[in-house]
Structure 1
Amino acid sequence: MYRSNQNHPELFPPKSRPLGNTENSWCRAAAGGTGIAVLALQLAKKMTETSHDLQITLEKLLNSHPLLHSKLYYNPATKHFSFLKCSNPQIPLKFHDLPSTSKLLLALSAQNPNISPLHLILEHELNSKSWSDPSSFPCSGMDLLFGSVYALSDVKSLIVLKFHAAICDRTSAVSFLRELMVLAKEVECGAGGGTQKIDGEGDMGIESLVPSGLAKKTMWAHGIDMLGYSVNSLRLTNLKFKNTKLARFSEVIRLKINPHFTAEILTGCKSRGIKLCGALAAAGLMAGHSTKLDSDHKLKKKYGVVTLTDCRTILEPALSTQHFGFYHSAILNIHTMKGTENFWDLAQRCYLDFEQYKKCNRHFSDMADLNFLMCKAIENPSLTASSSLRTSLISVFEDPVMDGSGQMQQELGVEDYIGCASVHGVGPSIAFFDIIRDGELDCACVYPAPLHSREQMSELVDRMKKIMIGEGGL
């Protein structure tokens, strides 16, 4: 529940709620460039500061989700964060007119001339510093959600919404988009009302909702597991690093597979009793390991795969998908690659290894260990290879987003959208944000540059696509 900090009441406002360990970890990560979630929508309509429909829609959404307009505070004495739900439902919106947007796109496209404006601005927003060093936080608290509107032409606009991971995991972002479109349709039609307010949203972090006994682990077991994770992480193979010296930023490559091949891949997964995350992980491992085989055809290497799973339905009490916040947990599996793997055999192994860990409740029992190690890596980058802060080769989500709202998007003028999060602080070499959009697989593949180059990662994603299309059928 919300409570004031008794030891330092002057540093946390009354009724603020100290963040749980997972939320605190994301606060530390976001300052370094990981955990900044961005949703960018391209619209076939002009949006300006005098266009009231957007403000009305967002206000309705915020009234249902006070967590979104909370303020983030930092206590330098305890080095912990808290947030406070605020009564005034507003999102800081910044409008960019056509001349300023054109100037920005001209600068962004200089190095990437073949990338769409939607893609370029998405990357720009992923890397703009909304949450920096906690010591620079204002006394009034830091906003956790920001919005920007870019004029692409006289008849097109781009809306970008940026969330802090402490209040928004992927499930929250997907629910936000769906509620946003429903409310936008209501506002367009002149209807009143809004979405239902979620009681207790944001009152507790995930650790407080784990079912009794599932996170239990002896001190000895904690020590053994932490040692195991630490030692194994030093043995994991990484993709070749292109530049380990320059400041990092997130870049995105889009992996799209047409509905025909997507259907074949999904049918192949279903017939083998596995999920798409297994196929994505297998394709990523095969594509990544193939770059090692170019120089040594007998190479055997170990790689890390992190799978993120939404815990809402198994918490106590169970939460709905409309309950915003960060309620995902991670499972790290290590896979040895020889270079002779069959795609579907590897996909089954990736998924079944993850499923076995989940059945053993490792997503709960290892939560504290992985949060601790992530924070230690942030504080001591030298603990990772070449100070790269890479903790695995790949991260995937257990379940893809299923989006069948194409008709509504068309009615609202939504031409395209991309949603993903930054990874240029601590994280994997490539993170997959997958969605099945009207039958088509569409992945935003995010990686840290210039640690990895766009050319290098484009080649990796192309290899993945060929593997999935070539071997992903029945």
Structure 2
Amino acid sequence: MSSNDEGPRPVTRRIYPTESSWCRAVPGGTGVTTLSLLIKNNTPHLHIQSALRRLQTNHPILRATLNPTTSTFIIPPLSSLTLHSSSSESPFHSLVEQELNLNPWNSNAAVGVGVGVDVMHATIYDHGNGSSTLVIKLHTAACDRTAAVQLVKELMHIVVTNNNSHDADVDVDVDVDGDVGLGIEEYVPDISKPFWARGIDMLGYSLNSFRLSNFNFLDPVSHPSSRLVRLMLDAPHTSMLLQGCKRRGIKLCGALSAAGLIAARLAKGLSDGDWEKYAVVTLIDCRKLLEPPLSNHHIGFYHSAILNTHDMCGGEELWGLATRTYKSFENAKKSNKHFSDMADLNFLMCKAIENPGLTPSSSMRTSFISVFEDPVVDETNEKYEQLGVEDYMGCASVHGVGPSVAVFDTIRDGKLDCACVYPFPLHSREQMQELIDKMKNILIHCLSSENEC
């Protein structure tokens, strides 16, 4: 038989530097992305599996296997995803935490020679009361937060359309990229950074890291895992918060990071006048800033980060600190640091993974808090109702290299809903719940009292 008769062959695509950094991070526990839906609807499992395979057809990178040792994605011509099923009486919150810590990429297959590991996995848990939890797990190198949100929208569109048509294989009209795509480095505008400037910045990042304050570490020795606490505001408070940000020319990320910084100091019981320096990482979806610009349907990792440090001496007021933190981020972005410092931050992240002793208490903490420049604004309510979705959460693990708390913010039905993921037992649930409660109280006090906080 000639080679022309063998049918389509797998496509090989090399792993780019930013993706490679995530390949280093994920086996250690940072970057396991989970999309979890609590469904009060007996949608047949075959319909869901068919929809997931359709996603992999629409976005080939999702059916890839990843092998960091050969620095390649291997994309087969057809999807073969299997939706695993299980029974569980655990509540939704517990299942999300459980899945954050079931890491298919920490095995020898993920870091060894030869066999690659799928970048996408899916499990459905039947609760025995007519409801179930669907969890889609993705390797962050192949799917960032923007891509994950897009996938949920497409999935619900496919499932709802199929249910209404009583045919799991019906074709539906969804936006697709249909291409494997390249790494973010191939689309970054030409922004040169002189060798000496890069050296100075690297030195600055390194020296600053030794001066940073951290949220108190409780147990940096025991085996780590990721856990989460939710920060939720009702619709009136959410509206007031967004309006307050708009009046001051800042974004929600500024208010969230400021509330976190103030809450951290309060939790530590420090006196006013005691100076501390905290690091905030702000993640940016770069799709619209690339050349050429990419759409949200372009699945892959296209985020970058800006790291800013902020001095705190106590007595800070929310809006003043929010404006300061956001303007620092905005100025750095205007200076293109999200592109010019991309390689530097990737390098430092990998060094922290290789040498945890370079970080405080070998904790691998690179900042106190991480936030996204823009929240997810959820406009899929009608599809949620049709599919019977009662709750939904999207977040990623952070117990390898990363912040003390990573905030994944969503505005759904006009209400703020943040999944705040943290490394356990480096921080305890009680400690983190206290922090998040303080953040919420700080936000509500400023809004409800109408003080110029």
What pairs with 1:364-375 in structure 2 (closer than 5 Å)?
364-375=339-350
Residue 184 of structure 1: how far off its partner (Å) = 1.1
* Count of aligned pairs: 436
Shift in Å, 1:87: 1.1
Q: Which residue of 2 aligns with 1:70?
A: 64
1:402 aligned residue: 377
Given that 1:64 and 1:194 are in contact with CA atoms closer than 8 Å, whether structure 2 keeps it comes out as no
Task: Give the secondary-structure state (helix, strand or coil) at the position aligned to 2:255.
Answer: helix
Residue 309, structure 1, aligned to residue 284, structure 2: yes
Matched residue, 1:81:
71
Show the counterpart of 2:82.
92
* Matching residue within 256, 264, 271 for 2:247: 271
403-412 or 220-229, larger mean C-alpha shift: 403-412
Equivalent residues of 1:46, 1:154 under 8 A apart: no
SS at match of 2:392: strand
User: Shift of residue 133 of structure 1?
Assistant: 5.0
Q: Could you tell me how far apart the structure 2 residues matched to 1:65 and 1:295 are?
A: 50
Q: Secondary structure at the match of 1:232?
A: helix
Q: CA deviation at 1:153?
A: 1.6
Match of 1:208 in 2: 186
Q: Residue in 2 aligned with 1:436? A: 411
Letter in 2 for 1:94: H
1:65-94 Cα offsets, whole Å, 9 max, x none, are: 11100111232xxxx621022112132321
Deviations 1:217-243 (A, max 9, x none): 111111111111011011100011010
CA distance in 2, matches of 1:87, 1:242: 48
Q: 1:230 aligns with which of 206, 211, 232?
A: 206
Matches within 5 A, 1:163-182: 163-182=138-157
* CA–CA distance in structure 2, aligned partners of residues 261 and 311 of structure 1: 29
How far off its partner does 1:138 sit? 6.8
Correspondent of 2:100 among 126, 131, 149: 126
SS state at 1:178 partner: helix
Q: CA separation of 1:371/1:134 partners in 2, compared to 1, >3 Å: closer, same or farther?
A: farther
- How high is the TM-score relative to the length of structure 2? 0.93
Paired residue secondary structure (1:166): helix
CA shift at 1:287, angstroms?
A: 0.3
Q: Once the 2 structures are TM-superposed, how far is the Cα of residue 56 of structure 1 from its aligned partner?
A: 1.9
Q: 1:193 aligns with which of 155, 158, 172?
A: 172
C-alpha deviation, 1:31, in angstroms: 0.6
Change (3 A) 1:295 1:361: closer
Corresponding residue for 1:37? 33
Contact 1:74–1:134 under 8 Å retained in 2? no
Does residue 161 (structure 1) correspond to residue 161 (structure 2)? The answer is no
Instruction: Tell me the equivalent position of 2:3.
Output: none
Residues 262-317 of structure 1: per-residue CA shift (max 9 Å, x gap): 0000000001111000000000000011123x143331100000000000011111
Structure 2 equivalent of residue 326 of structure 1? 301
CA RMSD, 1 decimal: 1.6
Kept after mapping to 1: 8 A contact 2:376/2:411:
yes
On the 8 A contact 2:59/2:179 being kept in 1, the answer is no
In structure 1, the partner of 2:51 is: 57
Q: Distance in 2 between matches of 1:222 and 1:151?
A: 52
Alignment of 1:279-318 (within 5 A): 279-292=255-268, 294-318=269-293
Contact 1:62 1:69 in 2 (8 A): yes
Please say which of residues 80-89 and 453-462 is displaced more in the overlay.
80-89
Between 1:80-89 and 1:350-359, the stretch displaced more is 80-89
Report if the CA contact (8 A) 2:32-2:103 is conserved: no
SS of structure 1 residue aligned to 2:242: helix
Q: Secondary structure at the match of 1:189?
A: helix
SS of residue matched to 1:376 = helix
CA distance in 1, matches of 2:333, 2:346: 17
Q: If the length of structure 1 is used for normalisation, what is the TM-score?
A: 0.89
Q: Helix, strand or coil: the match of 1:419?
A: strand
Residue of structure 2 equivalent to 1:112: none
Q: Distance in 2 between matches of 1:211 and 1:325?
A: 18
- Aligned identity (percent) is 49
Task: Please give the alpha-carbon distance, in whole angstroms, between the structure 1 residues aligned to 2:26 and 2:115.
Answer: 19
Q: Which residue of 2 aligns with 1:452?
A: 427
What letter matches 2:99 in structure 1? E
CA distance in structure 2 between the partners assigned to 1:282 and 1:259 by the alignment: 21
SS at match of 1:309: strand
Distance 1:285 1:463 in 2: 10
1:61–1:195 contact (8 Å) kept in structure 2:
no
Cα distance per residue 1:5-47 (max 9 Å; x no partner): xxxxxxxx98522211110000110010000000110111235
Q: Any idea what SS the aligned residue of 2:142 has?
A: coil
Q: Residue in 2 aligned with 1:7? A: none
Q: Would you say the 8 A contact 1:344–1:472 is kept in 2? A: no
**Do 1:47 and 1:151's aligned partners in 2 also have CA atoms closer than 8 Å?**
no
Structure 1: where are the runs of 5+ without partners?
Answer: 1-12, 106-116
